[in-house]
Amino acid sequence: MARKIAIIGLGHVGAAIAHGLVTTGGADELIFIDTNSAKAEAEALDFQDAAANLKYDVHIVVNDWQALNDADIVISTLGQISLQKTGQATGDRFVELQFTKQQVRGVADKIVASGFHGVLVVVTNPVDVITALYQRFTGFPANRVIGSGTLLDTARMQRAVGVALGVNPKSVSGYNLGEHGNSQFTAWSTVRVHGELVGDDADLDLDALEDEARRGGYTVYAGKEFTSYGIASATIHLVEAVLSDSHEVLPASTYQTDLETYLSYPVVVGRAGVLHKAPLQLTDSEQQKLTESAAYIKQRFDDVYAELAD
């Protein structure tokens, strides 16, 4: 069965996701949606120019909303990265909300009108609040609306710990939880290297490593004025888990009934989206941090939803 994926927003992140899917054979058909038609058409043509030198064939259509009808996955990467310049000092991803909150309802309406019935993957920042807005405006079941969340932040933590200990980041397991933003935290009770708890290593500065993971995106942004490869890889990982029905445990932004908000927590992901929550035994301190992060996200969502509903 053909794997059909739509990408809404062909900026740096959307283009990087498309490139990853094309070069790895992760999709059979891609739909590019962007208000800048010339940009979307140019991206499609660029991939056509690459086709003779690529291993996989991918069919690409541009700005055809009705093509979403039988898509497996729609990925929202719309945004305005230039706004992050004002949030660089504080690492606040909510600076993009002034733009993204105005886009979501219209995009959600078009997704619904297309008859789309697959899984909506949200990358748009601030991702927890935007994912919640998409779910509210589309009316889709919460298990079918997933944010990339701290899947990227967890990878940044794995990189930081790996560098500190001189091991491959793939040897580091564990999670960053909560908001994809300032209130996130590393759940050190879950982090292990070769089976050993990292928190037991007295030589490691856990606070510094946690901060490095939290602010890693702004370190990249300072050098190239956008991020792309890290978030693209995380998104493709999530997309592959859905398409392959892998039942893999990933720290994605999903609706947490007990906390009444979207935030990142390990969930089992498959063809239907979120299948169920994975159990964690957090410490009292970590549970408190999760509760505080949830309260922050929920308040920001309530504020912006009330504004948009007026």
Question: Any known ligand binding at 168?
Answer: no
Query: Rounded to whole angstroms, how far apart are CA atoms 167 and 212?
Result: 17
Task: Answer yes or no: are the C-beta atoms of 31 and 7 closer than 8 Å.
Answer: yes
Question: In sequence order, what are the residues at sequence separation of 6 or more whose Cβ sits closer than 8 angstroms to the Cβ of residue 220?
Answer: 227, 230
Give me 116's structure tokens.
């789309």
Q: How many CB atoms lie within 10 A of CB 1?
A: 6
Question: Any known ligand binding at 283?
Answer: no
Question: Any known ligand binding at 125?
Answer: yes
Q: How many CB atoms lie within 10 A of CB 236?
A: 20
Query: Rounded to whole angstroms, how far apart are CA atoms 187 and 196?
Result: 15
Return the pLDDT at 141.
Answer: 98
How does DSSP classify residue 178?
A: B
Question: Any known ligand binding at 13?
Answer: yes
Q: Is 180 a catalytic residue?
A: yes
Question: Any known ligand binding at 182?
Answer: no
User: Is 4-147 a CATH 3.40.50.2000 domain?
Assistant: no
Return the pLDDT at 165.
Answer: 96
Furthest C-alpha separation in the chain:
57
Return the pLDDT at 27.
Answer: 98
Q: What is the mean pLDDT of each run of 10 residues along the chain (310 residues)?
A: 94 97 97 97 98 97 98 94 58 78 95 98 97 98 98 97 97 98 96 93 92 87 89 98 98 97 98 97 98 97 89
Domain ranges of the chain: 4-147, 151-309
Return the pLDDT at 84.
Answer: 59
Question: Any known ligand binding at 195?
Answer: no
Q: How many CB atoms lie within 10 A of CB 255?
A: 21
Question: Any known ligand binding at 123?
Answer: yes
Which CATH code is given to the segment(s) 151-309? 3.90.110.10
CA quadruple 287, 292, 296, 302: dihedral, nearest 10: 80
Return the pLDDT at 152.
Answer: 97
Question: Any known ligand binding at 177?
Answer: no
3-state secondary structure of 91: coil
Based on the number of CB atoms within 10 Å of its own CB, is 189 exposed (0-12), middle (13-18) or buried (19 or more)? middle
Measure the CA angle with vertex 134, ends 33 and 18; round to 5°.
Answer: 35
CA quadruple 211, 241, 268, 124: dihedral, nearest 10: 50
The catalytic position among 19, 180, 237, 247 is: 180
Query: Rounded to whole angstroms, how far apart are CA atoms 145 and 132?
Result: 8
Query: Rounded to whole angstroms, how far apart are CA atoms 81 and 153?
Result: 18
Return the pLDDT at 80.
Answer: 80
Task: Answer yes or no: are the C-beta atoms of 150 and 177 closer than 8 Å.
Answer: yes
4-147 matches 151-309 in fold: no
Return the pLDDT at 92.
Answer: 63
3-state secondary structure of 263: strand
Question: In sequence order, what are the residues at sequence separation of 6 or more whose Cβ sits closer than 8 angstroms to the Cβ of residue 196?
Answer: none
Return the pLDDT at 95.
Answer: 82
